[in-house]
């Protein structure tokens, strides 16, 4: 379809289609404009956020980050008091913390940066 044909289908001037193409390349096109173009092409515009890893992997990773941060703080304090856990115990506690975070309210995973 030419720019002239598309312009006619959506009821705008041909120069508007050229501007649309340029705006798309520059990343400044609006959703309203994309919706109009989609309708002119007989399409439906779909706008969505799609996580790069799976959603489950994203949540798991976030729980692990929080657990690691919490464990590092506690481990540091325990080392200062000469009560440090061995590697195996730390790994078990990490797994317990991650599991606890995953079974709780998932919204709390995003409370802190």
State whether 64 and 91 are in the same domain: yes
State whether 93 and 60 are in the same domain: yes
Give the range of the structural domain holding residue 106, as residue numbers without chain letter: 55-110
State whether 60 and 34 are in the same domain: no
State whether 74 and 33 are in the same domain: no
What pLDDT is stored for residue 50 in this prediction? 84
Q: Is residue 46 part of a domain?
A: no
pLDDT band at 107 (very low <50, low <70, confident <90, very high): confident
State whether 81 and 35 are in the same domain: no
Query: Taking the chain, what is the end-to-end CA distance rounded to the nearest angstrom?
Result: 47
User: What string of H, E and C letters represents the secondary structure of the chain?
Assistant: CCHHHHHHHHCCCHHHHHHHHHHHHHCCCCHHHHHHHHHHCCCCCCCCCCCCCCHHHHHHHHHHHHHHHHHHHHHHHHHHCCCCCCHHHHHHHHHHHHHHHHHCCHHHHHCCC
What pLDDT is stored for residue 28 in this prediction? 95
State whether 21 and 60 are in the same domain: no
pLDDT in tens, 44-87: 999 998 888 898 999 999 999 999 999 998 888 887 888 888 88
Q: Is residue 68 part of a domain?
A: yes
pLDDT in tens, 84-99: 888 898 999 999 999 9
Q: Is residue 50 part of a domain?
A: no
Q: What is the mean pLDDT of the chain?
A: 89
Q: How many domains does the chain have?
A: 2
């Amino acid at each position: 379809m030419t720019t002239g044909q598309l312009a006619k289908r959506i009821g705008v001037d041909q120069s508007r289609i050229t501007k649309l193409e340029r705006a798309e390349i520059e990343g400044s096109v609006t959703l309203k404009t994309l919706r109009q173009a989609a309708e002119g092409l007989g399409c439906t515009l779909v706008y969505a956020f799609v996580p790069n890893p799976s959603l489950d992997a994203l949540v798991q990773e976030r729980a692990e980050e929080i657990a690691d941060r919490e464990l590092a703080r506690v481990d540091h304090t325990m080392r200062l008091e000469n009560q440090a856990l061995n590697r195996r115990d730390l790994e078990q506690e990490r797994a317990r913390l991650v599991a606890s975070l995953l079974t709780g309210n998932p919204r709390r995973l995003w409370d802190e940066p």
